[in-house]
Amino acid sequence: MFMSKYTITNKTLRNIGVIDAAREVILNSPLIPAWEAKFRKEAMERFVHHGTHLEGNQLSFEEAQQVLDGQEVMARDRDIQEVINYRNVLKFIDTIASKIGSNNPYILTVETILEVHRLTVERVVHPEQSGKFRVRQVVIKNSKTGQISYTPPPAAEVPYLIEDLVNWINSGQSKDLHPVIKAGIIHYELARIHPFVDGNGRTCRAIATLIMFLEGYDIRKLFSLEEYFDANPMNYYTTLQAVSNQLVLDSYERDLTPWVDYFIEGVAIELNKIKERVRRISLDSHVKDRLGEQVELNERQMLIMEFLHRHKRMQNKDFRKIFPDYSDDTVLREIKFLKQKGLVKKQGGTKNAVYMLK
């Protein structure tokens, strides 16, 4: 069976701590934005754009957004189709994750990997290569020098290597791993095997994302790991290739530690970004217990809560600082809502009122 060799470094432990702490803050935030759907849409757009841009797609972020919104964009057909395809991949992942529960565990199959690839390259590669393992040897070259930077395993070995990996993913040995470590190992191994002629990078990142989603690390689908990779593509590819090009007698002797550290750091960075967005409007955990439920806040209500978190108190004269374009009556209506929910209290008369967190 597939085996992986790596060391849990202090850096890994530190970042796992950051990941789990951020996850708890995000999932248990007592206050959530009413426009969480907007945040998810933004995360989907980042996932799709950065995931395709990393592989050479020439669309800008704005152009990718327009494609996803169904608008017409003057660009290469391939670039447009890749963006549409990767959105379909994310929808497929969401569909699978939404059907899984504690009484209905998901078993990853070879067919799932093939379907993710088919969706990734639909109408981009020849149908005979879509959702099917490669049948010839391929090499990875440096786009600038033309030098071969990595030679994947022979095509004849691909089906057996993938089956071995899938068996490991579904084994008891794999279930003992932290989900993010597992996702990182799966990402690396799929990239190393390079099972397809085209679309390998997007497929292995999508499968790694699926694994995290299935094990409770979808984090309300608000983050995009693709953004971390695309921020420094050279670092992404050189880290993968440095591990793959280690001189070892057996592929399972490769030390994955540099890649595992890099992957987990990326998850920590991206989740911490989302945690900070949520933290700005979150109160301590006792608020959720008192309210008995999560409370959705609109944008103005969030700004009021943020102001009170920073300054501890608010008076009528502060309204203009926060809402220069809204009347006092509008602001007072938002404060009234927060008072009714037990989040804000008022001291003093109307003109000299002081508002504070309750």
Q: Is the pLDDT of residue 285 over 50?
A: no
Asked whether residue 3 is assigned to any structural domain, the reply reads no
Top-confidence range, 20-29, 71-80, 246-255: 71-80
- Model pLDDT, residue 315: 92
Do 222 and 81 have their domain in common? yes
Do 46 and 92 have their domain in common? yes
Residue at 270: amino acid letter: E
Q: Is the pLDDT of residue 57 over 70?
A: yes
Which of these, 255, 262, 261, lies nearest to 236 by C-alpha position? 262
CATH number, domain containing residue 341 = 1.10.10.10
Tell me the mean pLDDT in the region 257-275.
Answer: 94
Asked whether residue 293 is assigned to any structural domain, the reply reads no
Domain that holds residue 203: 10-279
Do 259 and 315 have their domain in common? no
Q: Is the pLDDT of residue 32 over 80?
A: no
Asked whether residue 197 is assigned to any structural domain, the reply reads yes
Asked whether residue 5 is assigned to any structural domain, the reply reads no
Q: If you average pLDDT over every residue of the chain, what do you get?
A: 88
Do 153 and 214 have their domain in common? yes
Q: Is the pLDDT of residue 34 over 60?
A: no
Do 302 and 217 have their domain in common? no
Tell me the mean pLDDT in the region 333-352.
Answer: 87
Do 50 and 155 have their domain in common? yes
Do 198 and 331 have their domain in common? no
Tell me the mean pLDDT in the region 92-100.
Answer: 84
Do 176 and 249 have their domain in common? yes
Asked whether residue 290 is assigned to any structural domain, the reply reads no
- Model pLDDT, residue 263: 98
Higher per-residue confidence, 255 vs 174: 255
Do 58 and 169 have their domain in common? yes
CATH number, domain containing residue 206 = 1.10.3290.10
C-alpha span between 242 and 31 (Å, rounded)? 44
Task: Encode pLDDT of 183-198 as tens digits.
Answer: 999 999 999 999 999 9
Q: In the 8-state DSSP scheme, what is residue 153?
A: P
Asked whether residue 1 is assigned to any structural domain, the reply reads no
Do 302 and 274 have their domain in common? no
Q: In the 8-state DSSP scheme, what is residue 125?
A: S
Token representation of residue 313? 């108190």
Do 304 and 260 have their domain in common? no
Tell me the mean pLDDT in the region 316-322.
Answer: 88
The domain boundary, picked from 246, 279, 312, lies at 279
Domains: count for the chain? 2
- Model pLDDT, residue 294: 62
Top-confidence range, 74-88, 276-290, 298-312, 319-333: 74-88
Q: Is the pLDDT of residue 310 over 90?
A: no
Alpha carbon 170 to its chain centroid, in Å, reads: 22
Do 39 and 136 have their domain in common? yes
Asked whether residue 188 is assigned to any structural domain, the reply reads yes
Task: Encode pLDDT of 153-168 as tens digits.
Answer: 999 999 999 999 999 9
Q: What is the dihedral sign for C-alpha 171, 173, 178, 181?
A: negative
